[in-house]
Amino acid sequence: MDRLTQLWVLLLLGGVTLAVALGDAHLAYVRPGFRPLLLGAGAVLLLLGLAGLLRERSPGGAHGHGAPRVAWLLLLPVTVVLLVAPPALGSFTAARQALQVEAAAEPPAADIGPDDPGERHRTMGLLDYSLHALAADTSALNGRLVRLTGFVTPRDGGGWYVSRIGITCCAADAVAVTVVVDAGRGDLAADQWVEVVGSWAPPRPHPVGGHPEAVIAPRSVTPVEAPANTYQG
């Protein structure tokens, strides 16, 4: 790879980084807060590439030696993003990297708050629900309907999971939170996003690890579109 080609690769990397950051595609890789950093990195790469090209084309432009062949590997991530943009992590990851939620002696709050405006259920995050559902005192959930949103993950040993992936920085540190849905999956495909409205049910042992898992008994399961940002920070 000669110097001119290196500079074009730099321009390509910068352009792809900007294209990913300007839309919602970056949400498949990092948290929303990283968008300004991606925009800055893409802009710097573009400027460096343009400056290098201008210098090369000037009358006294420098023409250095070629880079090692391994430098072509820089094109691999660009090719993947352009041609086969990976989707956000889903049921495959959730089945293998699920968080084991520990049962707390006390629920995180005295109650789960009022119902959603105009509804007869309370929307909760999966982790928040799990902490309440596995607590020694589950009275906060007594007689309450809860709404959980996530994607379908198959489960061995009965029922299925409504799941959500959480990330601290990027997809590399992803971990899933899952809640057992105490019902048949029917024709719901893995990775289908759903809203589950239901009530607390006794925990079940994990089919492999044996630790207790939070369970919801559904009143309704409604397929929905995946949100723009599928991860929870």
Q: Quick count: other Cβ atoms within 10 Å of Cβ 42? A: 20
Residues 129 and 200 in one domain: yes
Residues 95 and 205 in one domain: yes
pLDDT at 230: 80
pLDDT at 191: 94
Residues 197 and 125 in one domain: yes
Q: Which domain holds residue 173?
A: 91-232
Residues 104 and 197 in one domain: yes
pLDDT at 96: 78
Domain total of the chain: 2
pLDDT at 233: 47
Residues 78 and 108 in one domain: no
Residues 144 and 61 in one domain: no
Residues 110 and 220 in one domain: yes
pLDDT at 164: 92
What pTM value is reported for the model?
A: 0.68
Residues 15 and 79 in one domain: yes
Last residue of a domain, one of 31, 64, 83: 83
- Averaged over successive runs of 10 residues, the pLDDT of the chain (233 residues) comes to 69 73 65 71 78 73 55 62 64 80 67 94 94 90 96 92 82 80 94 97 92 96 89 64
Residues 153 and 220 in one domain: yes
Residues 184 and 227 in one domain: yes
Tell me, letter by letter, the H, E, C secondary structure of the chain.
Answer: CCHHHHHHHHHHHHHHHHHHHHCCHHHHCECHHHHHHHHHHHHHHHHHHHHHHHHHHCCCCCCCCCCCHHHHHHHHHHHHHHHCCCCCCCHHHHHHCECCCCCCCCCCCCCCCCCCCCCCCEECCHHHHHHHHCCCCCHHHCCCCEEEEEEEEECCCCCEEEEEEECCCEHHHCEEEEEEECCCCCCCCCCCEEEEEEEEEEEEECCCCCCEEEEEEEEEEEECCCCCCCEEC
